[in-house]
Structure 1
Amino acid sequence: MRETEQIALQESQATTNGNQDGSDVEQTVFDAEQAGSRQIESQRTKLFVLIGSGILQLPIWGFAMSYGVFQEYYFDNWTMEGDRNITGVIGTTANGVMYLSMPLLFALFTRRWAHRRQLAALCGTVIACVSFFLSSYSTTVWHLLATQGITSALGCTLMYSPTTLSLGEWYTTSNRALAYGIVLSCKNVVGTSCPFILRALIDAYGYQTTLKAWTAIVGGTSILAIFMIPTHPSKVSIHETRARKIPWNFLRYRSIYFYSIAIIFQSSGYGIPQTYLSTYAKGVVLLSQTSGTLMLALFNAPGIIASSFFGWLSDNKRLPLSAQSVSAIPPVCCAVATFLFWGLTTQGNIGLLIVFSMTFGFFSGGYSATWGGMLKQMERESAERNEAVDPGMIYGLLNGVRGIGYASGGIAGVKLLNAGTLLASQRFGYGTSYGPLIVFTGLSSLLGGWVVLWRWNPKRFLPLISRAYSRCTNAAAVPISLGRNDPVYNA
């Protein structure tokens, strides 16, 4: 009887253990399936974020990067009140307002208002659409400056800032620079195609109808793209708790100031060819209107490859280059292209102008993609000091610094174009009214490459200098033996 009870008890325990083992296995399989589904969902979301960010480059940058087409039209068909030379400031002002607004907006949507990012981007869409629509009814140059240069730029910035923050949060430090590079490549696709589209619309329907059509394009593409870029889950509920303060420790790093000064110089020269290249091709090189538009497209086309290339170069582990080295390559090459190609163009020499457009466009278009390397460097510096850092806030600050360069370059461009005092040779670009602009662009680009000096430490050379000095002094102190045949000895 007792043996029968023991056998029954063992069988029941075995059954229970078997059920437990089976449930554990089922739970493990279920957890694995959930983890796999979450990973697939995360990859799909990251892909949508990347595609949405690429689409959003059209409504944000399409007008600013193609403003040279409108600039040329305003010059040839001026019917408004005011000085038409002021229209040369609109394009650079739009870029400047956008970039100058970014530090504030990045700070607002990094933490406290992170859950309102999509709503803010939709509000920016409304502001931009209303601005472009009202600009079609402008009657004075100041109306154009207010609507196209200021309010539309504010709307576009309100679209750009929250969505770019989400892009940087969905992609980690290992591939963030490459993601930025891909999106910036889409930006250059926009800059390449939009000049032809806008030129065709202006020629067929006039600039007023073109601006209304552009309003519809901005509204449709923006709404589609914004809903493809959700806020990262880590930021959705941050407003429900006590929001952490933004860490400002990076302001003590020397690198942030060197990079900022370099970006100011590079940006002040970058906007000038983008604004005046079309009018230069038509007025100086004596090209047709279509050729002028082609110059603007060729200026933006190489950036499609350059942005991805410099983003990959910043993340590349097989060819490790410092952030200083990578970020110094574009501005230095832009300076060389400006002095050798743009400055030496002559009437009818379309070949040299094409070379300048593509060379300058390639390196200047890829400059922003090097910022991912700058962010990684400052993240490493903060990790070494055991300090917190917010890459999104730093990225917004770098964009704001770029706005200072755009605004200052635009103001200086108008003054330099009116000066036009370099008359030494009428055969080259230096001898035209654009000569001061060419010199300014080359010098500012060259100064933009000075970040390489950040690695130069004069203290490293002090021991070498001291040793060389001691050798010289020791050699001077050695007594000179004179031979009997020496005239000094005989004297």
Structure 2
Amino acid sequence: MAGNESIPIQVIREEERLDVTQDEASLDQTSRPFESARTRACVLLGSAILQLPIWGFAMSYGVFQEFYSDNWTLQGSRSLTGIIGTTSNGVMYLSMPFLFALFTRRWARKRRTAACCGVILTCLSFLLSSFSTNVWHLVVTQGVMAAFGCALIYSPTTLSLGEWFRTSNRAVAYGVVLSCKNIVGSACPFLLRGLLDHFGFRLTLRAWTVMVAGTSILAIFLIPTHPSSLSWDSHRSRKIPWQFLRHQTFYIYSVAIILQSSGYGIPQTYLNTYAHEVTLLSQTSATLLLTIFNLPGIVSSSFFGYLSDNKRFPLSATTTTSISALSSALSAFLFWGLTSQGSMALLVLFSLTFGFFAGGYSATWGGVINEMEREAAQRNEAIDTGMVYGLLNGARGIGYVSGGLAGVPLLKAGSVSSVGGFGYGSSYGPLIIFTGLSTVFGGVGVLWEGRKLLRFV
């Protein structure tokens, strides 16, 4: 009886799938004349330019953290500035699942308007932060308001990028944009460091406001919404299948992402200050470390994406996430933890290795989604991979915020008592240990996989 009951369900799902496929095919045929090479080039150029206003501040916040530490003029606890960078990343990633869902179909016509509102909010936030007199002003304006504004720019424009490259070279398009993001993360620290040294943080934030406004408005109008989204009838859109929330695999990898992200944001925030205060490096050398930290991301994402999709020697999601997590933890424990005064070489080695292995962790999510797709197919269930990807970004945001909140008390604890020699004996010792432990648990899927294997022993 159970077997007979599954037949009509399968037929209905197959008919729905065919209907949606036919609808999408007809939309592609209708919109094909609009998909000129010139339009796609403009979309790609606009998406590449947007990486500067969206990620430039978040990926370079360590420079501001160092400046605040050396030139404190605000009221409130100086240590609170440590949560701004991680909170900024957290708010951005936490917003993405909701914003992607809003602008996928029903509000597709409002994408450009929403992105422009994001520009206004971001510029207003940075402008207000330049008038800050208390540290909580920076937390609210830079860590929350500006971050949400950047997410409001990122979500609708990224959806349009994926739609314009739906039928050809989508992977190449995303690869180009991701490379531009890491180029921004490598160049902006020097740009912002120079502005801070010459003009101070208030004029620097106002100059950054002008750069955000100029580059964002130009780029947004280079990215039109795809005709297929504009012509989609909202009442015909499919309901999101939530069956994947009943399976443990989703939660195992979500927890792993939260743990890995909580440690990944710590070096981005504190590495510059550590290099200047503990290893006594110059400000230029400390800024160089942040650039070196972001550089490997240009190639590591492609590398881990290749490992996840490699057809000749396929690796499971468990394996790829574990390679990234374990290697990142070893880098933190062996290179960052063993640094001492003047040990520039070890910090460079840490920046390169941790930046490569931890920076490529999010590229393993493709393998995670593939694994969840296979499980859904085995259970004869539908799955919306876009929604899954959005929720994984949300988990990353939780990790960033958690790491930022944990960093302040850990730094205070390190200033009271040391935990050994070298870097471990400094006030940053607890932060180093936290970074290593949290990133190693990003490979918690190994434990889950081992548990499943034991069932067959």
TM-score between both structures, scaled by the size of structure 1: 0.81
1:162 aligns with 2:156: yes
Q: Distance in 1 between matches of 2:274 and 2:264?
A: 15
How far 1:147 sits from its partner (Å)? 0.7
Q: How does 1:34-433 map to 2 (within 5 A)?
A: 38=32, 41=35, 44-171=38-165, 179-420=173-414, 423-426=418-421, 428-433=422-427
Q: Distance in 1 between matches of 2:447 and 2:368?
A: 15
How far 1:218 sits from its partner (Å)? 0.9
Which deviates more, 270-279 or 137-146? 137-146
Residue in 2 that maps onto 1:6? none
How far 1:447 sits from its partner (Å)? 0.3
Contact kept in structure 1, 2:35 and 2:164, CA below 8 Å: no
Which deviates more, 445-454 or 124-133? 445-454
Q: Distance in 2 between matches of 1:83 and 1:441?
A: 23
Which deviates more, 338-347 or 305-314? 305-314
Shift in CA distance, 83/128, structure 1 to aligned 2, threshold 3 Å: same
Shift in CA distance, 395/373, structure 1 to aligned 2, threshold 3 Å: same
Q: Distance in 2 between matches of 1:263 and 1:230?
A: 33
Residue in 1 that maps onto 2:10? none
Contact kept in structure 1, 2:369 and 2:388, CA below 8 Å: yes
Shift in CA distance, 108/424, structure 1 to aligned 2, threshold 3 Å: closer
SS of the residue 1:246 aligns to: coil
Contact kept in structure 1, 2:105 and 2:234, CA below 8 Å: no
Q: Distance in 1 between matches of 2:368 and 2:455?
A: 29
Shift in CA distance, 339/176, structure 1 to aligned 2, threshold 3 Å: farther
Q: How does 1:23-42 map to 2 (within 5 A)?
A: 38=32, 41=35
Shift in CA distance, 338/174, structure 1 to aligned 2, threshold 3 Å: farther
How far 1:244 sits from its partner (Å)? 3.2
Shift in CA distance, 153/345, structure 1 to aligned 2, threshold 3 Å: same
Q: Distance in 1 between matches of 2:180 and 2:44?
A: 10
Contact kept in structure 2, 1:115 and 1:237, CA below 8 Å: no
Q: Distance in 2 between matches of 1:207 and 1:340?
A: 35
How far 1:219 sits from its partner (Å)? 1.3
How far 1:385 sits from its partner (Å)? 4.0
2:449 maps to which of 438, 452, 455: 455
Shift in CA distance, 462/220, structure 1 to aligned 2, threshold 3 Å: closer
Amino acid at match of 2:348: I
Residue in 2 that maps onto 1:470? none
Shift in CA distance, 76/449, structure 1 to aligned 2, threshold 3 Å: same
Shift in CA distance, 258/88, structure 1 to aligned 2, threshold 3 Å: same
Q: Distance in 1 between matches of 2:248 and 2:266?
A: 29
Q: Aligned-pair RMSD on alpha carbons?
A: 2.5
SS of the residue 1:363 aligns to: helix
Shift in CA distance, 175/392, structure 1 to aligned 2, threshold 3 Å: farther
Q: Distance in 1 between matches of 2:194 and 2:364?
A: 34
Contact kept in structure 2, 1:165 and 1:392, CA below 8 Å: no
Residue in 2 that maps onto 1:480? none
Q: Distance in 1 between matches of 2:317 and 2:295?
A: 25
Q: Distance in 1 between matches of 2:309 and 2:165?
A: 13
Q: Distance in 2 between matches of 1:313 and 1:195?
A: 30
Contact kept in structure 1, 2:339 and 2:423, CA below 8 Å: yes
How far 1:174 sits from its partner (Å)? 9.3
Which deviates more, 136-145 or 382-391? 382-391
Shift in CA distance, 369/227, structure 1 to aligned 2, threshold 3 Å: farther
Contact kept in structure 2, 1:268 and 1:405, CA below 8 Å: yes
How far 1:39 sits from its partner (Å)? 7.6
How far 1:212 sits from its partner (Å)? 1.1
How far 1:245 sits from its partner (Å)? 2.5
Residue in 1 that maps onto 2:5? none
How far 1:181 sits from its partner (Å)? 4.1
SS of the residue 2:35 aligns to: helix
Contact kept in structure 2, 1:128 and 1:152, CA below 8 Å: yes
Residue in 2 that maps onto 1:20? none
Shift in CA distance, 399/342, structure 1 to aligned 2, threshold 3 Å: same
How far 1:43 sits from its partner (Å)? 5.1
Residue in 1 that maps onto 2:14? none
Contact kept in structure 1, 2:296 and 2:355, CA below 8 Å: yes
Q: Distance in 1 between matches of 2:172 and 2:450?
A: 28
**Percent of pairs with identical residues:** 66
Amino acid at match of 1:79: T
Which deviates more, 350-359 or 392-401? 392-401
Q: Distance in 2 between matches of 1:277 and 1:174?
A: 40
Number of corresponding residues: 429
SS of the residue 1:321 aligns to: coil
Listed as ranges, the gaps of 5+ residues in structure 1 are 1-33, 465-491
How far 1:306 sits from its partner (Å)? 1.1
Which deviates more, 416-425 or 171-180? 171-180
| Bigger Rg, structure 1 or 2 | 1
Shift in CA distance, 168/367, structure 1 to aligned 2, threshold 3 Å: farther
Shift in CA distance, 229/389, structure 1 to aligned 2, threshold 3 Å: farther
How far 1:231 sits from its partner (Å)? 2.8
Deviations 1:186-222 (A, max 9, x none): 2111111000000111112222111111111111221
Shift in CA distance, 46/451, structure 1 to aligned 2, threshold 3 Å: farther
Residue in 2 that maps onto 1:5? none
Listed as ranges, the gaps of 5+ residues in structure 2 are 1-27
Contact kept in structure 1, 2:321 and 2:442, CA below 8 Å: no
Q: Distance in 2 between matches of 1:182 and 1:436?
A: 37
Shift in CA distance, 290/404, structure 1 to aligned 2, threshold 3 Å: same
Q: Distance in 2 between matches of 1:264 and 1:213?
A: 34
Shift in CA distance, 235/128, structure 1 to aligned 2, threshold 3 Å: same
Contact kept in structure 2, 1:168 and 1:392, CA below 8 Å: no
Amino acid at match of 1:265: L
Q: Distance in 1 between matches of 2:80 and 2:451?
A: 45
